[in-house]
């Protein structure tokens, strides 16, 4: 980990394919979100780099910035079936933030070792200077892994 990236891990008692299928589904993102910001999603499951879907957000769950309800577009940047998926988020604000969320999956005794990561090392300088990162905490990433374990088990 660095001061511009958070990674957390958990072994989940499910095979990589089951976890990956959930992570490709827009509704799967809503189902496992621990932040409370993801309200709903629109779109089809992703199948390749460049695919996207819309997530309907409510920032009031974090109570940090008065953005209320808004939509973002999740665009897939890494897609390795049953191994890794990562995406960036395109929203209404300019310049775009440039942060990346993702999951790496590795077969392990008792299931799959899941690494959840959040990387803001390539954010636009405007947002670096604003000092708003990380938006999501290590604890929130860990909690999402707990919800993921409960959802796929």
Whether a cis peptide bond, with omega within 30° of 0, leads into 134 is yes
Q: What is the pLDDT of residue 126?
A: 82
Q: What is the mean pLDDT of the chain?
A: 90
Q: What is the pLDDT of residue 70?
A: 80
Answer whether residue 61 shows pLDDT above 70. Answer: no
* Residues 6-24 pLDDT 10s: 999 999 999 999 999 999 9
* Residues 28-44 pLDDT 10s: 999 999 988 888 999 99
Q: What is the pLDDT of residue 93?
A: 73
Side-chain half-sphere of 53: how many Cα atoms within 13 Å? 21
Q: Where are the domains of the chain?
A: 5-152
Measure the CA–CA gap between 88 and 152, rounded to whole angstroms: 24
Q: What is the pLDDT of residue 97?
A: 79
Write down the architecture of domain 5-152 according to CATH: 2-Layer Sandwich (3.30)
Q: What is the mean pLDDT of residues 96-118?
A: 94
Measure the CA–CA gap between 77 and 74, rounded to whole angstroms: 9
pTM: 0.90
Measure the CA–CA gap between 17 and 105, rounded to whole angstroms: 9
């Amino acid at each position: 980990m660095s001061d511009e990236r958070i990674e957390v891990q958990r072994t989940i008692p499910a095979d990589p394919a089951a976890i990956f299928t959930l992570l490709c589904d827009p509704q799967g993102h809503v189902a496992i979100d621990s932040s409370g910001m993801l309200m709903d999603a629109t779109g089809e499951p992703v199948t390749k780099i460049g695919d996207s879907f819309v997530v309907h957000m409510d920032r009031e769950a974090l109570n940090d910035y008065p953005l209320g309800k808004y939509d973002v577009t999740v665009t897939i940047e890494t897609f390795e079936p049953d191994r890794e998926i990562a995406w960036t988020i395109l929203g209404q604000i300019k310049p775009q933030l440039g942060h990346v969320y993702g999951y790496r999956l590795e077969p392990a005794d008792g299931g799959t070792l899941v690494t959840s990561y959040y990387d803001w090392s390539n954010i636009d300088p405007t947002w670096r200077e604003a000092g708003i990162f990380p938006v999501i905490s290590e604890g929130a990433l860990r909690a999402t892994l707990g919800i993921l374990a409960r959802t796929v088990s």
